Structure 1
Amino acid sequence: MSAGVWMPCVRRAATVVIVGRFQSWIVVGSALQKEAKLYRRDRMASRRYHQIDLLRSVACFMVVAFHYLYRGHLDGWIPFASPMAVTETVKFGYLGVQLFFAISGFVIFLSAQGATPRAFAASRAARLYPAFWAAVALTTLVVHLGGLSSLVVPWRDVFLNLTMVAHWFKAEFVDWAYWSLAVEFHFYIMVWLLLRFDAMKHIKIIMSVWLLMSALNWLRPVYPVEFVLEVRWAPFFSVGICAFLMRQGDRSKWVHALFSIASLLSLAYAYSDAKKALGFDHLDVVAVVLLSCSIPVLFWQISRERFEVSGGRVLYWAATLTYPVYLLHEYIGYVLISRLSAAGVPGMLSALAVFVGVLLLAYLVNTRVERPLSVMIKRWVAGA
């Protein structure tokens, strides 16, 4: 065979080999990039923000102090009145709930990164329901045995509470603290829908509309919209969401504008709530607005990595127990404090003793119920 015949064959063969190897490199490179992206997402989702743990612990303590040392007596559930200096401090503790909502905005968007709709639903169900079911059962038991008949709800409502959406059926909450869980539940549904319809990439547009609806609702409340889309609490969730986006590198003017609008709206709602709050005067309203400023300020610092906290076992357990403590503290606390006060235990001491008892009960719920049951629920919902 002459050179003129076999040389083109060699060139074609060499070209096929080179192109084949090049395509293989592209495939391998693409696979490696995909694996690296998934690794970064998993690492980001599993990362623990200790400053969020600290804020969660502070928020929980604020709410407990508010109920035990201020609102419980004001509503007639607790027989003693705390000293004036104490009540004038803890009366603002309800702002811990707003802080919880901002935390959820940050944490839920963190957990949604790279998650499928089913995986997200599994993680939320495993996180929420085990401790909640235990709390509903324990609260019902203590309230029935404790003698505060005005806190007892019908058995139909007790069973509807197990769904966590008792308000959908116009049922009473077993413990009024559950109202904020209903708000959280609606927020989780909205995030799930974003994942289901692949709308996370449009989050800035969606948040813009959400905040616009929130502003209109502040001017003139529209109950169906406020109930379904939680526009009343949208500014607080949005502060956390924007802080997360900025923390992950999206520091565009759009996100900054959304953060600013959400912050201003959160102050507007805080002002409106304070004006309607029982026992609040003009100075209290001013104090609420000033204290409410701390929430966007803290999350701005987190977004800029200027607020960092070292972890530790104490902080870990404090943050871990916030959820069961929040679920268990109010009505159970009212019953036990009333019983201790009736037995002659000084008021402040009885509140402290009950708080310690609720911490221990929360630890048992976490270790004996929440952890083992959450694994089962997650596997069942995820279909594993």
Structure 2
Amino acid sequence: MPEAPVEERPSAAPDRGPLPDPPVRAPAARRTGPTRLYALDVLRLFAALAVLSFHWTADAGVPEIWGGRTPQDFMPTVAGITQYGWLGVELFFIISGFVICMSSWGRQAGDFVVSRVVRLYPAFWAAILLTATVLHFAPDLGRPGARAGIDARTVVVNFTMFEGRLGYKDVDGVYWTLWLELQFYLLFAIVVAMGLTYRRVVAFCGIWLVVAMIANGSEVPILEELAMLRQAPYFVAGVTIYLMYRFGPNLLLWAMVGFTWLLAMADVPGLKKVYDDAVGDPMSTVGVSVAITLAYAVIIAVALGWFDWVRWKGLAVFGALTYPLYLIHQEAGWTLIHWLRERGLGDRAAIGVALVAALTVAWLLHRLVERPLSRLMKRGFDKSLKTMREASDPAPRRGLRRSSGEGLDTPR
């Protein structure tokens, strides 16, 4: 057989233009699995106590609880500090973005949904029953008007967590934040269903912020509601800070976090105005701005590992108490404080006893309701998902051959 022709080597390589860029590898994760960050447990409880302190020691809208006075009348120094406690909600949103992204990595969409359902609903149902019972049996001790409109049907509808969208009243006013959390989960579930990757999460954050800014003032209600311009910067900041934690900080992530901070700063005057009326006196714009900045800073510090030394497992109890405490503290808390004052306790003593009681009840709800019911629900949902996935998987193709006529696999 003839030999293959031998190619002559050119004396000089021809100009083939610029060489293609070498393939870019995805950045290796510094941390590959969800590790419990006990510093976040502490921060979550701190945020819940901040909101509680605002409602109990700074809210001027419930003078009936204090015998016709407001907290500013009998503890002005405390009220001057705790009037900023409502910002614990913004801290919650940043933590939520961080934790949801962390706990969802590597999960399928169904597992993500199950994790959110078993996390949110058991304690929520127990809190609804507790608050509704308190308002029913002690209507004169709580906030005036709190009992109005809370009938059996309203309580049942509240169990869905969609009561506001169904035209029903919240059993407790603090539930308004839960709907925002659900909206965030709905949006994030889209990228979870696609499969979480560094690029997709960055794209999700960028697209959400752009849509939120476009939706603002668009007069398209559904778009404005889903985009959540007021809350989007905090959720996105939390998600982006988690990317720093998992993959390490870089200029892109710093820029994204910085942009969300600028959006948050731009909204400070409007956000502050919502709560100025609640405390009966304009708060400091600088104070609100500093508090929000500190919320950003402390979560960034967690992501950078500054609090890795916080490893005491007992701090997990702090995180466990947070959600039930938040759910029960407002209406039931005001009622208990009023009742204690009528029994002769002083203002500060009533607050102290009410705080101990609220923490105790929150722990009992977690231990006796939330934990066992969550486990039971998770087992049931996991089994349901397994059945659904097995039934939905394509049947194994046995003994199939390719049809020469149609190019399809057909049975022998």
Which residue, 70, 75, 88 being the options, matches 2:58?
70
Segments ≥4 residues shifted beyond 6 Å? none
Do residues 108 (structure 1) and 100 (structure 2) align? Answer: yes
SS of aligned partner of 1:74: coil
Higher helix content, 1 or 2: 1
Alignment RMSD, CA only?
A: 2.3
What whole-Å deviation, never above 9, does each CA across 1:122-174 have from its counterpart, x for those lacking one?
11111111111100011100111112461122332211110112122121111
Q: For 2:342, give the aligned amino acid.
A: A
Task: Report if aligned partners of 2:241, 2:300 keep a CA contact under 8 Å in 1.
Answer: yes
Task: Report if aligned partners of 1:275, 1:285 keep a CA contact under 8 Å in 2.
Answer: no
* 1:299 match: 299
* 1:50 match: 38
Compute the displacement of 1:64 (Å): 0.7
- CA distance in 1 between partners of 2:112 and 2:164 (Å): 23
* 1:87 match: 79
Do residues 259 (structure 1) and 257 (structure 2) align? Answer: yes
Do residues 234 (structure 1) and 229 (structure 2) align? Answer: no
My pick for the range that moved more, 300-309 or 289-298, is 300-309
Name the TM-score, length of structure 1 as normaliser.
0.83
What whole-Å deviation, never above 9, does each CA across 1:87-145 have from its counterpart, x for those lacking one?
10100000000000000000000010101111111111111111111000111001111
- CA distance in 1 between partners of 2:112 and 2:285 (Å): 39
- CA distance in 1 between partners of 2:245 and 2:289 (Å): 26
* 2:18 match: none
CA separation of 1:222 and 1:269: change in aligned 2, threshold 3 A: farther
* 2:379 match: 379
My pick for the range that moved more, 100-109 or 219-228, is 219-228
Which residue, 189, 192, 195 being the options, matches 1:195?
192
CA separation of 1:159 and 1:88: change in aligned 2, threshold 3 A: same
Do residues 178 (structure 1) and 175 (structure 2) align? Answer: yes
CA separation of 1:372 and 1:205: change in aligned 2, threshold 3 A: same
My pick for the range that moved more, 245-254 or 280-289, is 280-289
* 1:272 match: 270
What whole-Å deviation, never above 9, does each CA across 1:20-73 have from its counterpart, x for those lacking one?
xxxxxxxxxxxxxxxxx99x75xx12x1101111211110110111111111x4
SS of aligned partner of 1:293: helix
Unaligned runs of 5+ in 1: 1-36
* 2:343 match: 343
Compute the displacement of 1:199 (Å): 6.2
Q: For 2:210, give the aligned amino acid.
A: L
After superposition, residues 81-230 of structure 1 pair within 5 angstroms as 81-82=70-71, 83-148=75-140, 150-152=145-147, 153-198=150-195, 200=197, 201-216=199-214, 223-230=221-228
Compute the displacement of 1:310 (Å): 1.5
Name the TM-score, length of structure 2 as normaliser.
0.78
Compute the displacement of 1:205 (Å): 1.9
- CA distance in 1 between partners of 2:253 and 2:221 (Å): 28
Task: Report if aligned partners of 2:218, 2:224 keep a CA contact under 8 Å in 1.
Answer: no
* 1:247 match: 245
CA separation of 1:99 and 1:76: change in aligned 2, threshold 3 A: same
- CA distance in 1 between partners of 2:305 and 2:281 (Å): 37
- CA distance in 2 between partners of 1:335 and 1:346 (Å): 15
Task: Report if aligned partners of 2:108, 2:195 keep a CA contact under 8 Å in 1.
Answer: no
Unaligned runs of 5+ in 2: 1-27, 387-412
* 1:19 match: none
Task: Report if aligned partners of 1:239, 1:259 keep a CA contact under 8 Å in 2.
Answer: yes
- CA distance in 2 between partners of 1:358 and 1:220 (Å): 42
Q: For 2:180, give the aligned amino acid.
A: V
Task: Report if aligned partners of 2:101, 2:239 keep a CA contact under 8 Å in 1.
Answer: yes
* 2:308 match: 308
